[in-house]
A = this chain, B = another copy of it.
Amino acid sequence: MAVLLEEFHPIFYPRSIAVVGASANEGKAGSKWVRGLLAAGFEGRVYPVSSGGGTLSGLEIYPNLRAVPDEVDYVVASVPRQSVLALLDDCAVKRVQAIQFFTAGFSETGTADGRKMEAQMVKKARQNGIRIIGPNCIGVYCPESRLPLGPSPLGKLGTSGSVGFISQSGGIAAKLAEIGIARHINFSKVVSFGNGIDLDASDFLQYLAADPKTSVIGAYLEGTRDGHRLFHTIKGVAKAKPVIVWKGGRTEVGAQAATSHTGSLASSAAVWAAMLTQAGAIEVHGLEELSDALLIFQALGRWKGNNVAVIGGLADGGGGISVSASDSCTEMGLDMPPLSHQTGEALTRLLGEVGSILRNPVDVSQAPNRDPTALSQAIQLVMEDPVIEAMIVQEDLDTFLSYSSSAELERVNDFFVRLGHAHSKPLIIVLPPGSAEPERLSLEQRLLQASIPTFPTMERAAKALARINGYNGRS
């Protein structure tokens, strides 16, 4: 473990980075990479390298890697494919520990030449103790060390957190990082490893399993060159931490696209699904399910449970919502047990009506005059019911703002934030989109910031919550 962490240290925590292919032309990918590192406030040293020399963002550009007057831990390579072997020779001279190739045009083109070049790259790297990330990838993202992802001059960084993610697709890694910023899914590390000719999915999974900063692991995979090793790696890793896998290229057309994308052999969806289940991983389909699962594992950790209470009718008209919420939860395998007798009696005393209020879903629109104190007491009673293991609240802003004020909305959500903090029981909020999008987005930010998992639909909330029970690793 210690060896593994040490080996990957220069990749995620480099003291110095050289970007080869970063010239005085600010529009080039390498130049954008340097601008992104500076914009992100990367605290190590950054060295642009390009034969033309000159300066970039106030930094001297070195004509080649050997000319850099400092040790270089990590190299980002955005160079023509003909130059990769020569660059690896320079890396050997400079005792570079790891190099990431943005450069593409290798095995993913389907040519014998592409495969041959990759073999030569690996040979040279191994002879000189250099690890390769890629080629055909956008590399690593580590908010903790202020390393932004890919050649964007914006150098965007989210909050540092506990979610690790590896991806065969740079586009999907970049998109998930953006979704992370929006939904407060906070990453420890993200890696796009493209063709994975040296370090591949199995290596990065082992690293994230060992990494003390990471508590849940996601992966976008298209295929693998060594299915046997990947299976055993996932099986081992999933014992320690939840592993959530999105397999791209499940269909024939998708698999064809995958071959030309990262040169992977994608086998059938059924084989993958069976393999992932057997290895103890959780399979998701698509970016929404992936981000929903990461969000809920980040928030709920090792919680397990099935007995959910659903609260509807916060503003008005909770009937149809309650019906469909019941369908969603039940179809996802969650239980919605009746509330305990004690809770029922206390609710009756509080709300003065015996009817549907005792059932679950709980339609609080019956609260007399929508008295805010009675409403929050009723919700608290349900939260404290010993039968209930998690609570999902349907909060519809369109309805709320049609019948109530913004100030009241603020008060209700202050209450939810306090309730979420006061209880170890999960509180999840569903905020369906509608015609009050700016208000909805700002409320969503507020709840997510308070670590309350928030979803746009009951279906997605229920599906995410139900997934937690699908993880059977050590607790």
Minimum Cβ distance to chain B for residue A156 (Å)? 7
Closest chain B residue to A109 by CB distance? B355
Chain A interfacial residues counted at CB < 8 A: 76
- Enumerate chain B residues within 8 angstroms of A432, measured Cβ to Cβ: 175, 287
Of B152, B257, B396, the residue contacting A402 (CB under 8 A) is: B152
Which B residues are CB-close (under 8 A) to A258? 323
Q: Which residues does chain B contribute within 8 Å of A437, judged by CB atoms?
A: 182, 441
A149-193 Cβ-contact flags toward B at 8 Å (1 or 0): 011101010000000000111111011001101100000000000
Contact of A329 with B253 in the complex, beta carbons under 8 Å: yes
Q: A178-B434, A317-B138, A457-B286 are in contact. Are A326 and B253 (CB under 8 A)?
A: yes
Q: B174 to A248, Cβ gap below 8 A?
A: no
Contacting pair A318 B179 (CB below 8 A)? no
Is residue A89 contacting chain B, with contact meaning CB distance below 8 A?
Answer: no
When distances are taken between beta carbons in the complex, the residues of chain B under 8 Å from A287 are 324, 432, 457
Residues of B within 8 A of A222 (CB): 320, 323
Known: A169-B323, A324-B172. A181 touches B435 (CB 8 A): yes
Q: How many copies does the complex hold?
A: 2
CB pair A459 B286 closer than 8 Å? yes
- A437–B442 Cα distance when bound, in Å, is 11
Specify the main secondary structure of chain A where it touches its partner: helix
Would A396 and B262 count as touching, CB distance under 8 A?
no
Q: A441 vs B437: C-alpha distance in the bound complex, in angstroms?
A: 8
Chain A 357-400 per-residue mask, 1 if CB under 8 angstroms from chain B, else 0: 00101000000000000000000000000000000000010110
Please give, as numbers and ranges, the residues of chain B lying within 8 Å of A434 by CB-CB distance.
175, 178-179, 181-182
Q: Mark A254-270, 1 if CB is under 8 A from B, else 0.
A: 10111011100000000
The residue from B168, B326, B399 contacting A320, defined by CB atoms under 8 A apart: B168
C-alpha gap A170/B315 in the complex (Å): 13
**Contact call A326/B256, Cβ cutoff below 8 A:** yes
Judge whether A327 is part of the interface by a CB distance below 8 angstroms: yes
Q: Which chain B residues border A103 with CB–CB below 8 Å?
A: none
The 4 closest A-B pairs by CB, nearest first: A169-B320, A171-B317, A251-B330, A254-B326
List 17 other contacts, CB 8 Å, given A169-B319, A178-B398, A179-B434: A152-B403, A168-B320, A170-B319, A171-B399, A172-B320, A178-B435, A178-B436, A182-B435, A182-B437, A248-B324, A254-B330, A256-B326, A257-B359, A286-B324, A286-B328, A286-B457, A288-B459
